[in-house]
Amino acid sequence: DGGITQSPKYLFRKEGQNVTLSCEQNLNHDAMYWYRQDPGQGLRLIYYSQIVNDFQKGDIAEGYSVSREKKESFPLTVTSAQKNPTAFYLCASKTGFGQPQHFGDGTRLSIL
Amino acid sequence: AQKITQTQPGMFVQEKEAVTLDCTYDTSDQSYGLFWYKQPSSGEMIFLIYQGSYDEQNATEGRYSLNFQKARKSANLVISASQLGDSAMYFCAMSRGAGGTSYGKLTFGQGTILTVHP
């Protein structure tokens, strides 16, 4: 079945450590997105990519980095510069105007 | 800039009754899209319904309908015949219609927690 796979489901980060969240899709979608969700809040856009080898900053990109070397993969690195990384991270992809974004099941990141 | 406002932090409804979740938006764009997503306690985001700004008829998907009032900039979600499984967080979101690097990005509201009572 086609879909978006995020891994791991839970991730723990030590102070000063970089961690990478994986997002893979087999939907053949061109555009991919990373969102952050804090408890009881809506989603905020971190980074997005519309084509391979190109990506743009979203509203809260500081302390995060991404790459898009393959169409199906869009990993997010939470760097040590992100001082408050504890949150729920959701990856999404879409194709075509007016089409909805499809989401993965998310990764919960916590600080040890 | 786009903004979505959901003024109901929580809503309660009796099973089998209808419920309306409010959403107002602000944008200077002529072309935009409006979306509703459901987020159960497990965390995944489930797409429910979409309305384009130029669509003249209100969108419907099964028990979900979107009450689109363009002049009032509102896009309320109506759930008919509520079921216990409808208990979840509901998010309204919008995208810019076309052009530029903003294509496809979603701006989300704060969400409304819906609880369905038996």
- Our CA-based measurement puts residue A42 at a distance from the nearest CA of chain B, in whole angstroms, of 4
Mean pLDDT of B50-60: 90
* Whole-angstrom distance, CA of residue B35 vs CA of residue B91: 8
- Confidence check: pLDDT of B67 > 70: yes
* Whole-angstrom distance, CA of residue A107 vs CA of residue B26: 31
**Is B33 in Cβ contact with A98 (below 8 Å)?**
yes
Tell me what pLDDT residue A6 has: 97
Size of interface A-B (CB pairs under 8 A): 62
Q: In terms of pLDDT, which residue wins out, A98 or B30? A: B30
- Confidence check: pLDDT of B115 > 90: yes
Query: Percent of chain B, pLDDT > 70?
Result: 94
* Whole-angstrom distance, CA of residue B108 vs CA of residue B5: 8
* B109 vs A42, A56, A102: nearest CB: A42
* Whole-angstrom distance, CA of residue B115 vs CA of residue A74: 35
pLDDT in tens, chain A (112 residues): 679 999 999 999 888 899 999 999 999 999 999 999 998 889 999 999 989 999 999 999 999 999 999 999 999 999 988 889 999 999 999 987 667 889 999 999 998 8
- Confidence check: pLDDT of B14 > 70: yes
Q: What is the mean pLDDT of chain B?
A: 91
Pairing of strands B112-117, B10-14: parallel
Least confident of B13-27, B45-59, B90-104: B90-104
Q: In terms of pLDDT, which residue wins out, B74 or A96? A: B74
- Our CA-based measurement puts residue B38 at a distance from the nearest CA of chain A, in whole angstroms, of 11
- Nearest chain A residue to B88 by CA distance is A40
- Nearest chain B residue to A5 by CA distance is B44
Mean pLDDT of B7-26: 97
Q: Length of chain B in residues, anyone?
A: 118
**Is B42 in Cβ contact with A105 (below 8 Å)?**
yes
**Start-to-end Cα distance in chain B:** 41
- Nearest chain B residue to A105 by CA distance is B44
- Confidence check: pLDDT of B100 > 50: no
* Whole-angstrom distance, CA of residue A34 vs CA of residue A103: 10
**Chain A residues within 8 angstroms (CB to CB) of chain B:** 31, 33, 35, 40-45, 48, 50, 56, 58, 88, 90, 92, 94, 97-98, 100-106, 108
Best A6, A51, A97 residue to mutate vs chain B (most B CBs within 10 Å): A97
Tell me what pLDDT residue B43 has: 92
pLDDT band (50, 70, 90) for residue B25:
very high
Tell me what pLDDT residue B101 has: 37
pLDDT band (50, 70, 90) for residue B98:
very low
